[in-house]
Structure 1
């Protein structure tokens, strides 16, 4: 069983409070408010632990740089702001994507990332 340290609690709380996927650097900046002196190695160690326990999930973007969000949101997509580099959740889906697969192929899953400017950057 994983120890519930101040650092782990701060990291989990900042991911939960953000309401959107966070990059490791964003997690560091938020966690430092609760635990001054926390370092990037601690962030990565706790991200790994939180992933292994199923508390958070990875959001992998085609442009690189994984983000992390609270697990259990169900099927959803993401919006990536090209100006501020933040990623936001999109709780909508265009629906049945099987019709887009080549004839004879069986679709198992899909990911959709929208790109543009968020409301703060436009």
Structure 2
């Protein structure tokens, strides 16, 4: 529950109005330890807020991502979001393309690439591995 309070505090500090819908979005994502598409979030919130639009979900998820509340990735031409990891250090993920479950990878391969780019300045990077988790393979 501390992560929900922290996320709401970030929204408040950035000047966003704290609404029940915004809090419900955060609750949905905080209870799942996996990446969710906007459509999955939409389908879950629809029961409580039947008039909410998919565009509203997309906009809020993107805002949460920009504020660092959520992590964002893309596969199969669709963005997916998960609550920010507890790991504060730089890390990457393995992401199951069937269920969206992720596992943190604590090793970063950037040294390999930095050595191949002398004189270049790398500003940022992402490294994700996609596949099937052990449960989805079974």
Common fold by TM > 0.5 = yes
Q: Matched residues in 2 for 1:48 and 1:107: separation? A: 24
Q: Secondary structure at the match of 1:67?
A: strand
State the 1:47 CA deviation.
1.9
- Change beyond 3 A, Cα 1:107–1:41: closer
Match of 2:41 in 1: 27
Q: Secondary structure at the match of 2:64?
A: helix
Question: Which structure's residues are more often helix, by fraction?
Answer: 2
Matches within 5 A, 1:38-117: 38-52=52-66, 54-61=67-74, 63-71=76-84, 73=86, 74=88, 75-82=90-97, 84=98, 86-93=100-107, 95=108, 97-101=110-114, 102-104=116-118, 105-117=120-132
TM-score normalized by the length of structure 2: 0.65
8 A Cα contact 2:101 2:133, kept in partner: no
- Change beyond 3 A, Cα 1:117–1:48: closer
State the 1:18 CA deviation.
1.0
Q: Tell me the number of residue pairs that the alignment of Structure 1 and Structure 2 aligns.
A: 118
Deviations 1:54-102 (A, max 9, x none): 15234233653222223465322222324x2525142422x45223331
Q: Which runs of 5+ in 2 are unaligned?
A: 1-14
Q: Matched residues in 1 for 2:62 and 2:117: separation? A: 39
TM-score normalized by the length of structure 1: 0.72
